Structure 1
Amino acid sequence: MASHIASMPGSGIRRVTELAWSTPGAVVLSLGEPDMPTPRHVLDAAVDALDRDDTRYTPNGGIPALRAALARRLRTAHGVEVPPERVWVTAGGAQALHLALTLTLHAGDEVLVPDPGYSTFPMVTHVLQGVPVPYRLLPAHGFVPDPEAIEAQIGPRTRVLLLNSPSNPLGTVLDEAVVAGLVDLARRHDLWIVSDECYEAFTYDVPHVPAARFDTDGRVITLHTFSKTYAMTGMRVGALVVPDALVPRMAAVQESIVSCVNSPAQYAALAALEGPQDTVEEAARTYRHHRDLATELLDAAGIPWLPARGGIYLWADVRHLCGDDVEAWAARLVTDHGVALAPGSAFGPGGEGWVRISLAAGAEDLRVGLGRIPRGRRAPHHRGSDREPLC
């Protein structure tokens, strides 16, 4: 086995979730699996493709109608003008991330990844023999990136700045000034930006700001997915939007990884984009309701939380309950109390003492699961302290 694979760390999210799956009666609040059906017209489009035996290879970049529909959606929803040839259909957001870093990294190159941040960011970097360099997101700053602190970490091997808004696991949404400043930082240091915008359909009272809006010289690569927006997690359809300079090599790189995404799932994704959007609007209302419900339950338990302005997760502060080992505490929470929360340390050292709660679970699961968290002593409320509650 390759040494860099043998030494690759596993997922702390999976460990606690698999423990919950083997624990009778445990409530799973650790996974972002939508608790709602895939829209009927999306399923019908996949079935129709199977019925007409449309199961052959498609072009590497995806069926032309889907690429065009994605380009239209970016223009109408976010004001980003993208020709279809720059939109590449991928096997979910995970393959979009893998493809983006494949295109931009040499072995030994560094990727600036958010900490806390989505656990797959450093994992994929590791697989591609790059070096993940965490940039800390601090409670005192609302877990928003600090451009000056990031700039201080840029070295001669830094190649990529990875952004995520809305954030998994934090629920933060970067505003226009922050996004523009980070794109400018990348421009000044000649870095690629890989912008994970997979939760762009779910923001609450604030707009989603795409990084590509500020891209003047073709350095922003953007990830999208159908998984959470349309409850299509198992269909594995995402998209990667690349600058013009990368287009000539895209077909060969995609061919070497997956050739193409399966055609019935692509037709399902096309139906999702072109059909009624009421299920997306209903999902956004549901996640907002679940956010509000979860924060009420956490308030009653004396557990601080970070205001979630987007995405499908809530970030909660359990330092007063777990001490210095939230992963062990999360495991005991499953075995002793029957509820699984994703330990914050699974998202980087900066997540120690925090947990991620999935708002994609059903309302009753949230009530029951969060009600099982032991109360312990209440969180301290010291003004000026990094333990000051964020709610």
Structure 2
Amino acid sequence: MPRIAPHARAVPASGIRRITELAWSLPGAVVLSVGEPDLPTAPHVLHAAREALDRDDTRYTPNGGIAPLRDAVAAWLDPEHGLPVRRDNVWVTAGGAQALHLALSLTVGAGDGVLVPDPGYPPFAMATRLLQAEAQPYPLRAEDGFLPDPAAVEAAITDRTRVLLLNSPSNPLGTSLPAELVAELVEVARRHDLWVLSDECYAAFTYDVPHVPAARFDTDGRVLTLHTFSKTHAMTGFRVGVLVVPDQMAPLMPTLQESIVSCVNTPAQYAALAALTGPQDAVDHARRTYREHRDLATVFLDERGIPWLPASGGIYLWADVSHAAGGDVAAWAEELARTEGVAVAPGSAFGERGEGWIRISLTASAEDLRAGLSRLPARADVAAG
């Protein structure tokens, strides 16, 4: 028998998926482990997809996507980025996942290094390893509020490092990087001649702080930016994302996109166009809802004496259950799902520095949040009191 490529076996499995699938198999379990919006897709978005189907607009599009969608994305991001964003910079992808794969395909080869946050979104390391590159964690420490320390990032750079990956607002942490920190991190990349891959998929969901794009500080064409319609517009199943690339990469993009996915399905692109150019009431409602869910969750955690990281953005809350996890939060989370019927994502699924923490999805309904969080074990001093 021919062998399976060794690097395919080296891709780590998702600890989030394991807990979630276990919960789905348990009758009545409350699932707080996955970021699936509990809100409906806006009617005008669904209507645009139906219209495309009704007119049989189901053929190939250009590799980069339909021109109106790419132009709309460029018009949306141009003032945010503070530098020109044109149609040729915008590439429509099969969700944020394919945007990540495409961006890494452009920037690393076998044996190259990608600086990934720890804790950080697991597919950052998974996609890196699938391309036979090396994930190089940089620490996000509790004592720093889980924000990157530019000196620690710089210390993690080796002669193989090619990419610095940033994520703001963060999955799983809910942190948003302030402007001065983003500028410092882009400067670190400039000093060491690294690409910057900035995952800004939750940019629409920030609370009391502005979203700061990394591209705003890009003076020499080294920043690539990821966006997705999945969470912002409750379109996870449509699979539409965006990769914004520097000018120098634009000529390469048709060939790379052709080799991976050719193009995103046409009705989904028209749905994304409607999402971006139509009424934004649903996005505003989602932002308010997730903020309310964040505040609701912190009340339940406070009642149990469970510390949590203030979330200034995104759709997750990061909480410290080290008092109960016994040094193995993954095993504890599995037991919690089996015995209490509530699934939370173990922090260790996001990196070594996530041990003792859990990620709670704020996209669950308020009812599920109340039911699930009420089953978390209180700290001994709180329970005794």
TM-score surpassing 0.5? Answer: yes
Aligned CA distance change for structure 1 residues 219 and 76 (closer, same or farther; 3 Å): closer
* Structure 1 Cα separation of the partners of residues 22 and 379 of structure 2: 23
2:202 paired residue number: 199
Q: 1:128 aligns with which of 131, 136, 141?
A: 131
Match of 1:183 among 183, 186, 201: 186
Partners of 1:123 and 1:184 in 2: CA distance? 26
Q: Tell me the TM-score normalized by structure 2.
A: 0.97
Deviation at 1:323, TM superposition (A): 1.5
Q: Distance in 2 between matches of 1:200 and 1:6?
A: 33
Alignment RMSD:
0.9
Q: Deviations over 1:38-96 (max 9, x none)?
A: 00000000000000000000000000000000011112455453011100000000000
Alignment of 1:52-63 (within 5 A): 52-63=55-66
State the match for 1:312 in structure 2: 315
Contact 1:303–1:378, Cα closer than 8 Å, also in 2: no
Deviation at 1:377, TM superposition (A): 1.6
Q: Deviations over 1:144-177 (max 9, x none)?
A: 0011111111111100000000000000000000
Match of 1:385 in 2: none
* Distance apart, 1:109 and its partner CA: 0.1
Contact 1:204/1:288 (CA < 8 Å) preserved in 2? yes
- The alpha-carbon deviation at position 9 of structure 1 amounts to 1.6
Find the partner of 2:150 among 147, 156, 159.
147
Residue 163 (structure 1) aligns with: 166
Q: What's the counterpart of residue 9 of structure 1?
A: 12
Contact kept? 1:30, 1:341, Cα under 8 Å: yes
AA partner of residue 318 (structure 1): V
Mapped to 1, the partners of 2:164 and 2:79 lie a distance apart of 27
2:95, 2:240 within 8 Å by CA — same for their partners in 1? Answer: yes
Whole-Å separation in 1 of the counterparts to 2:181 and 2:377 = 38
Superposition pairs of residues 173-252 of structure 1, within 5 angstroms: 173-252=176-255
Contact 1:74 1:80 in 2 (8 A): no
Report the secondary structure of 1:373's partner residue. coil
Q: Matched residues in 1 for 2:239 and 2:94: separation?
A: 5
The reply to whether residue 367 of structure 1 matches residue 370 of structure 2 is: yes
In 2, distance between residues paired with 1:140 and 1:33?
30
Q: How far, CA to CA, are the matches of 1:10 and 1:291 in structure 2?
A: 28
- Please list, as runs of the form range in 1=range in 2, the aligned pairs for 1:1-391 lying within 5 A after superposition: 1-77=4-80, 79-378=82-381
Give the counterpart letter for 1:173 in structure 2: S
One-letter code aligned to 1:47: R
C-alpha distance in structure 2 between counterparts of 1:88 and 1:319, whole Å? 42
Deviation for aligned residue 1:6? 1.6
In 2, the alpha carbon distance for the partners of 1:112 and 1:275 equals 37
Q: Distance in 2 between matches of 1:378 and 1:78?
A: 48
Distance in structure 2 (CA, Å) of the matches to 1:259 and 1:325: 43
Check conservation: 1:303, 1:318, Cα contact below 8 A.
yes
- What is the SS of the residue equivalent to 1:114? strand
Local SS of the residue matching 2:380: coil
Identity between Structure 1 and Structure 2 (%): 70
Would the aligned equivalents of 2:81 and 2:215 in 1 still touch at CA under 8 Å? no
> Residue deviations 1:272-320, cap 9 Å, x none?
0110001100100000000000000000011000000000000000001
SS of the residue corresponding to residue 91 of structure 2 reads strand
1:363 & 1:37 partners in 2: Cα distance? 15
**Gaps in structure 2 of 5+ consecutive residues:** none
- For 1:290, the aligned partner's letter is H
**4+ aligned runs moved over 6 Å, structure 1:** none
Query: CA 1:99/1:310 → structure 2, altered by over 3 Å: closer, same or farther?
Result: same
